[in-house]
Amino acid sequence: MTAATGSSTVSGRIAAASTGRTVSVSLFVLAMAGVLAMLLALPGETVTTKNLNDLFVLLDGTHRVVSGQVPNRDFHTALGPLAYYVPAAGYWVSGSLGAAIPVGVGLLILVLAPVFAHVVACRLHIALALPFATFVLFILATPINLGEGVTSLSFAKFYNRIGWAALAILLVMYLPPRRVRAGQDRLDALCAAGLTLTMLYTKATYGLAALGFLALVQLFDPRQRRWATLAIGTVLVTGLVVEAVWQSSLAQMADLLLAWQVDGGVRGSWGQIVDHLLGNLTDYVLLALIAGLALMRTRSVGDALFYGYCAVAGFLIINQNFQAWGIITLHAAAVVAAETILRGVADIDPPGRDRWSVPAGAKLLVLVLVLPTIVHSALALSLHAGAAVTRSGQEIAFPNLDRVRLAQLWTWNDHEAAKAYLATIEEGVGVLADLDPGPDGVLVLDVANPFSAAVGLEPPSGDAAGLSWGRTVNAAHFLAPERMLADVQIVLEPKPAPSEDATSPPSAAESLRNLYGPYIAAKFDLFKETTHWRVHRRREPRCADGCRGAVTLPPMTGAP
Amino acid at 188: D
Question: Of 224, 235, 157, whose CA–CA distance to 468 is shortest?
Answer: 157
Q: Are the C-beta atoms of 363 and 128 separated by less than 8 Å? A: yes
Question: Are 321 and 193 in a shared domain?
Answer: yes
Structural domain contains residue 197: yes
Question: Are 218 and 279 in a shared domain?
Answer: yes
Question: Are 476 and 368 in a shared domain?
Answer: no
Q: Are the C-beta atoms of 220 and 302 separated by less than 8 Å? A: yes
Amino acid at 245: V
SS3 9: helix
Structural domain contains residue 405: no
Question: Are 417 and 382 in a shared domain?
Answer: no
Question: Are 155 and 303 in a shared domain?
Answer: yes
DSSP 175: S
What is the rounded CA–CA span in Å between residue 134 and residue 140? Answer: 10
Q: What is the pLDDT of residue 475?
A: 87
Give the residue ranges of DSSP H helices in 221-356.
225-246, 249-263, 270-279, 281-298, 301-318, 328-348
Q: Would you put residue 415 in left (φ > 0), alpha (ψ -120 to 50) or beta? A: alpha
Range of the domain at 308: 19-388
Structural domain contains residue 28: yes
Q: What is the pLDDT of residue 279?
A: 86
Q: What is the pLDDT of residue 4?
A: 47
SS3 417: helix
Question: Are 367 and 506 in a shared domain?
Answer: no
What is the rounded CA–CA span in Å between residue 490 and residue 109? Answer: 39
Structural domain contains residue 67: yes
Question: Are 384 and 419 in a shared domain?
Answer: no
Q: Are the C-beta atoms of 190 and 226 separated by less than 8 Å? A: no
The CA angle 469-396-149, to the nearest 5 degrees, is 65
Question: Are 468 and 375 in a shared domain?
Answer: no
Structural domain contains residue 12: no
Helical (H) or strand (E) element with 31: helix 3-41
Question: Are 128 and 164 in a shared domain?
Answer: yes
* Distances in whole angstroms, Cα of residue 18 to Cα of each of 7, 133, 223, 281: 16, 18, 21, 37
Question: Are 360 and 457 in a shared domain?
Answer: no
Buried b (16+ CB within 10 A) or exposed e, 348-385: eeeeeeeeeebbeebbebbbebbeebbebbbebbebbb
Structural domain contains residue 56: yes
What is the rounded CA–CA span in Å between residue 500 and residue 506? Answer: 8
Residue-level pLDDT, tens digit, the chain, 560 residues: 454 454 445 444 545 556 768 899 999 999 999 999 999 999 999 999 999 999 999 999 999 999 999 999 999 999 999 999 999 999 999 999 999 999 999 999 999 999 999 999 999 999 999 999 999 999 999 999 999 999 999 999 999 999 999 999 999 999 999 888 888 999 999 999 999 999 999 999 999 999 999 999 999 989 899 999 999 999 999 999 999 999 888 999 999 999 888 876 555 566 778 888 888 999 999 999 999 999 999 999 999 999 999 999 999 999 888 888 999 999 999 999 999 999 886 444 444 444 457 788 889 999 999 999 999 999 999 999 999 999 998 988 888 888 999 999 888 888 899 999 999 999 998 888 777 666 889 999 999 999 999 988 899 999 999 898 888 898 888 999 999 999 999 999 998 876 555 555 567 778 899 999 999 999 999 988 999 999 999 987 554 444 443 333 333 333 32
Question: Are 272 and 213 in a shared domain?
Answer: yes
Q: Are the C-beta atoms of 65 and 85 separated by less than 8 Å? A: yes
Q: Are the C-beta atoms of 497 and 503 separated by less than 8 Å? A: no
Question: Are 233 and 354 in a shared domain?
Answer: yes
How many structural domains are present in the chain? 2
Structural domain contains residue 313: yes
Tell me the pTM: 0.90
Q: Are the C-beta atoms of 414 and 152 separated by less than 8 Å? A: yes
Q: Are the C-beta atoms of 333 and 355 separated by less than 8 Å? A: no
Structural domain contains residue 393: no
- 248-254, long-range: CB < 8 A, 24+ apart: 248/70, 248/71, 248/72, 248/73, 248/81, 251/72, 251/73, 251/76, 252/71, 252/72, 252/80, 252/81
Q: What is the pLDDT of residue 550?
A: 37
What is the rounded CA–CA span in Å between residue 290 and residue 338? Answer: 7
Residues near 280 by beta carbon (within 8 Å), at least 6 away in sequence: 315, 318, 325, 326, 327, 330
Give the residue ranges of DSSP H helices in 124-224.
126-141, 158-172, 184-200, 204-220
Compute how many other C-beta atoms are within 10 angstroms of the C-beta atom of residue 237: 11
